Amino acid sequence: MSDFTISIRSEMMGEVVVVHIQGNMDVHNTHHIEQQLMDIVREARSGVIFDLGAVNFISSAGIRVLVTSLRLCQDLGIKISICSLKPAVEKVFDVIGINQLFQIYPDLNSAL
């Protein structure tokens, strides 16, 4: 059974917004953060980094939220990247090919 708790915290690091996501990104909870993520992206100056280091599981619903964020960033001319994937999440990214859509870094320092 899925953990229904998901949270996000954002912080400015220079001109980049770092969004720390914690919890399982699945159909049960991603709708709780989708609008919040879109608002954060709209306020970003030059870049957004999604730190997924505290995400243990991601479903197609979570992937959809990330791709929606990617499209919004592209529309706004903002760079978007992802960092700190856990092995289980990285495997999902590899299988569905989402790692070809995003710039993915091993950790936050590399992404900055």
Please give the residue that has the higher pLDDT: either 4 or 110.
110
CATH class of the domain at 6-111: alpha beta
Q: Could you tell me whether strands 6-13 and 47-54 are parallel, antiparallel, or unpaired per DSSP bridges?
A: unpaired
Q: Lowest mean pLDDT: which of 8-12, 39-43, 53-57, 104-108?
A: 39-43
- For residue 1, pLDDT over 90 is answered with no
- The number of residues making up the chain comes to 112
* Tokens (6 digits) for 65: 């939220």
Mean pLDDT of the chain, nearest integer: 93
The CA distances from residue 77 to 4, 85, 88, in Å, are 33, 24, 30
- For residue 87, pLDDT over 70 is answered with yes
For 7-29, give the secondary structure using H, E and C. Answer: EEEEEEECCEEEEEEEECECCCC
Query: For the whole model, what pTM was predicted?
Result: 0.92
Q: Token match 């992404």: residue?
A: 111
Query: Using a CB cutoff of 8 Å and minimum separation of 24, what contacts does 5-8 make?
Result: 5/29, 6/30, 6/32, 6/33, 7/33, 8/33, 8/36, 8/37, 8/40
Could you tell me the residue ranges of all domains in the chain? 6-111
